[in-house]
Amino acid sequence: MKIGNKVSVVDEDLSGVITSVNGNIVVFKDEYGFTYQYPKEKLVPKDAEIYENIKIIKKAEPRKTISKKHDKNPLILDLHFENLVKNPHDYDSFERLFLQKEKLIHTISFCRKNHLKKLEIVHGIGDGTLQRMVFDVLESQTGLDFYNKEILHHQSGAVMVEFH
């Protein structure tokens, strides 16, 4: 380190030009004219030419694994009967509604057991029987909030459930 060299202080936002060197102690002046004294090991040279020939290697950001609990995408339950059973024509309307209700209650308990925060229930738009059953089940539950997925439409085919 010589008089006239630029230096920066390690772990501080402070730099300046060296005015004198007394053994291990270096005195420098910052851009505002204030003088500072630091030991040599606390200073690093501030020389842009040092870094000119160094190759910059960009590393890929490591992907953070997101647990199911903190996943922003909700679990989706589609209550369309064709998705629940193999032969939908073998059931009458009462059995269909009963199986859909059973699947809904089972999925809500699954979400609670696994600490999931959101559930999207797709009931579709129809005569409203399934939709009424979904709202009845959700109203009977505690520790959750629910609302229509499409807020601007009068009747949507899905309900968002948020667990507390």
Return the pLDDT at 153: 53
pLDDT single digits (tens) 101-116 = 888 889 888 888 888 8
Burial environment of residue 116 by CB neighbours within 10 A (0 to 12, 13 to 18, 19 or more): buried
149 pLDDT band, cuts 50/70/90, is: low
pLDDT single digits (tens) 9-66 = 988 889 899 999 988 899 999 989 899 999 998 998 887 677 677 788 888 888 877 6
Instruction: Quote the CA–CA distance of 133 and 144 in Å, as a whole number.
Output: 17
For the entire predicted model, the pTM comes to 0.53
